[in-house]
Amino acid sequence: MCAKLIINRAQILREWRPYDKPYLKKIGEKLIANQKCRNHAFKPCINQYFLVYYSLIIEEQNALHALTSAGFTMDFKAIQTLTANDMAKVNETIQAQLNSDVSLINQLGFYIVSGGGKRLRPLLAVLSAKALGYRGEGHTLAAAFIEFTHTATLLHDDVVDESDMRRGKATANAAFGNAASVLVGDYIYTRSFQMMVELGSMKILQLMSEAVNVIAEGEVQQLMNCNDPDTTEASYMQVIYSKTARLFEAATQIGAILADASPEIETALQNYGKYLGTAFQLIDDVMDYTSDGKEMGKNVGDDLAEGKPTLPLLYAMRHGNPQQAAMIREAIEKANGMERLEEILAAMQETGSLEYTIAKANEEADKAITELAILPESEYKEALVALAHMAVNRSK
């Protein structure tokens, strides 16, 4: 039955993907060979079948994306090696700036900053400055306060969302309580602004003030969108720009400002960050339905459980049959979608909602790479290009 459902998708896919015949045959053969899908009813095997389907979508999308990625050779380890000295200084600054006479601030602060993560946002500030030949030390402080801003948003986010796992371990609110998380988040926010003042750039201070304000607006808009199945795709895209892409944008723009770049280069790097952040969040929202919980470091299906109308859900609701649309509408309104997860995953597969979201992410990544054409050739530019590819070709 699982394989049949995929093959029934052929006509829909054929309208926009000319290579779908061998693609669908490949999926069907893999599923038919799967003993569970042959011998069990639809519901017990849907998760396994869906993950196989998704992995093949990613495989095909990556193959196509690779056609436009000639010369893309740098992996994340190479980027870490390239920026090792700079990022070591950033991490030292983060540790030093977290220090407080209040023991709970130290305990909770160090708990969250030592919780893993790639430090992607501060890395973008470092790479952007270095790509323009910057030789000062201001990028270290800037990268640290960008990470502080991100950390504060995570602390507040997890309280609002009542999350209990992030990066594979208990969230700060689960470990220390909501009140402590909110208050230490406030401390980290205010500390970040002290660091901005220390940097001594009014332009950067203004940029970050506006960015934090936009992030807060995005958080409130997402709260308003929760349990609202009438959320538009435009509203969803505005939320992910505000909540995620705006800080990416600030990070890359700050690198340009520190390097005293021309207005054209500053705008290009600003746009690069915006497109990269958008692509990153689109894939995050896909992975909420497809990734293994351990691999992702958080609970799978969190968005569904919270009634968040992300693009994979919205697209499936608007392109599904009446029964599927009604089911997803109720899942968003009542935040009870985990009870019908198998059927919702099937609706996503039948409507192509994951493919649609992944395609949009690839479009954003391609736009990000295009913006980098104005930069001089260097290893740092190559790293920025590589990060755009990694944003859409990842599993966590």
Predicted confidence (pLDDT) per residue in 223-272, tens digit: 999 999 999 999 999 999 999 999 999 999 999 999 999 999 999 999 99
Examine the domain organization and report whether 269 and 363 are in the same domain. Answer: yes
**C-beta separation of 115 from 169 below 8 A:** yes
Give the Cα separation of 172 and 181 in Å (integer). Answer: 6
Could you tell me the pLDDT band of residue 318, with boundaries at 50, 70 and 90?
A: very high
80: its two tokens: 């870490």
Handedness of CA 240, 170, 121, 81 (dihedral sign): negative
Residue at a domain's end among 25, 42, 65 = 65
Examine the domain organization and report whether 183 and 57 are in the same domain. Answer: no
**C-beta separation of 258 from 129 below 8 A:** yes
Query: Could you tell me the CATH number of the domain that includes residue 203?
Result: 1.10.600.10
Examine the domain organization and report whether 196 and 264 are in the same domain. Answer: yes
Residue at a domain's end among 27, 46, 65 = 65
Examine the domain organization and report whether 19 and 152 are in the same domain. Answer: no
Examine the domain organization and report whether 300 and 342 are in the same domain. Answer: yes
Q: What domain count does the chain have?
A: 2
Examine the domain organization and report whether 337 and 239 are in the same domain. Answer: yes
188: its two tokens: 């980290």
How much of the chain exceeds pLDDT 90, in percent? 71
Examine the domain organization and report whether 344 and 374 are in the same domain. Answer: yes
Instruction: Tell me if residue 163 falls in helix, strand or coil.
Output: coil
Examine the domain organization and report whether 307 and 363 are in the same domain. Answer: yes
Instruction: Tell me if residue 254 falls in helix, strand or coil.
Output: helix
Closest CA relative to residue 219, chosen from 171, 255, 168, 185: 185
Residue at a domain's end among 65, 89, 118 = 65
Examine the domain organization and report whether 36 and 133 are in the same domain. Answer: no
The arithmetic mean of pLDDT across residues 281-289, rounded, is: 94
The amino acid present at 200, given as its one-letter code, is G
Give the Cα separation of 156 and 150 in Å (integer). Answer: 10
Examine the domain organization and report whether 155 and 49 are in the same domain. Answer: no
Q: Mean pLDDT for the chain?
A: 85
- Containing domain of residue 16, as a range? 2-65
Query: What is the predicted pLDDT for the residue at 244?
Result: 97
Examine the domain organization and report whether 271 and 194 are in the same domain. Answer: yes
Examine the domain organization and report whether 92 and 174 are in the same domain. Answer: yes
**pTM for the complete prediction?**
0.83
Query: What is the predicted pLDDT for the residue at 269?
Result: 99
For the stretch 55-105, pLDDT in tens is 555 555 554 454 344 445 689 999 999 999 999 999 999 999 999 999 999
The arithmetic mean of pLDDT across residues 279-306, rounded, is: 81
Torsion of CA 324, 326, 327, 330, to 10 degrees: 160
